[in-house]
Chains A and B, each alone.
Chain A
């Protein structure tokens, strides 16, 4: 309907054209790391921090901070895309692959969806297939340093192929469910799935 519209006098800055095929539609590349969250930054003491996998699993598991750090860790270099339009290329993270965590559980056959739950009450939801087979990880380091609290430390989920609100900050666990349950932003007008390459920003 409005696809032929042209903005009079607009040519664009087109920075970093070599990265164009790595930047989804409507996004721009920023060298900064903006912070986006709905409320104050929670600060949970590490000796009270745990990470749980619960819901439709045979045996729920829970790790303390010390135990979590002993899980096999990996480095990840990924591009991230925020629904507020910024993308950041080649971000460096350290943490544990979700696949590694899932080696410690047995999924019930009807486990189809996952809800990430966090300090501060934040939740976000996605199909199970979006976080397994190398598609996501729990990060506790960024650029070689402990992950700062404002960026989700001590630990956050990173799901690089979905908009970054799915990469829940201050994560405390994953809950496996049979039915999909919209999370915080998903209940407030944002897309339930959030694929940046399909521009699934809003309802």
Chain B
């Protein structure tokens, strides 16, 4: 199982603008290794004077697509790496990375379910790899995605999620809008709270395994809420990103 993670040079095969703030980069890897949905890659940038910057980005694609991966990157205001890949990187460019990395926030169909996925903003990216993997292998494990987004235009993968919801048995997609919802929207329009978790997770029963990914405060609130509705802490896996605001 032990394996040294080597840096490799990938080539940008395509770039897709997902939302105003996010782009998906399809990268061809010379030393592709099958990943587990939920894992990430480290990206390393090197300037001519050897100055380097590194960041980690979640894999959005399913492991069944061999030879290449999708990384979906949110552009962070003043972000050193995210602004480079958003503004400078073009198709045909090379980029250095290593992975896949991470062994805990992962799900494969063989692990079974039912599965509750809870995403805040671009926290949907590693969960999308799980959803795509489930579809690719024809799994019927019950899976619910609860996805909190600020506005309709911020929903990443919206068309594909809607399509998968209709084509895949046992997959539910539930979106809540926290700032602005589409006109005529009769779904959730608030931050994720305990009653919402109870409604969404209830049908999965108390044996569900939960994966929660998003900004720190949202993940804290959701993980605590899941404990309140009766899930055990060993049924809740979390992945947090982004600033917390300084404490103290």
Contact = CB atoms under 8 A, between A and B. Distances in A.
Interface of A: 1-2, 5-14, 25-28, 30-42, 84-85, 120-121, 142-145, 148, 150-151, 184-185, 187-189, 201-203
B242 interface: yes
A39 B237 contact: yes
Interface of B: 2-9, 42, 44-48, 51-56, 78, 80, 84, 88, 93-96, 101-105, 216, 219-220, 223-224, 226-227, 233-234, 236-238, 240-248
B243 A120 contact: no
A150 B224 CA distance: 11
Given A10-B46, A189-B103, A203-B2, A145 B248 contact: yes
B67 to A, nearest CB: 18
Contacts of A10: 45-47, 53, 84, 88
A7 B96 contact: yes
A1 B105 CA distance: 31
Contacts of B46: 5-7, 10
B102 A40 contact: no
B59 to A, nearest CB: 14
Given A5-B96, A188-B104, A35 B52 contact: no
Nearest to A120: B233
Contact of B240 (A5, A11, A34, A202): A34
Contacts, number: 130
Nearest to A11: B47
A202 B48 CA distance: 26
Contacts of A120: 233
Contacts of B80: 12-13, 28
Given A10-B84, A33-B244, A39-B238, A202 B5 contact: yes
A33 B246 contact: yes
B240 A37 contact: yes
B238 A37 contact: yes
Which 4 A-B residue pairings sit nearest by Cβ, starting from the closest? A143-B248, A188-B103, A32-B243, A40-B223
Nearest to A145: B248
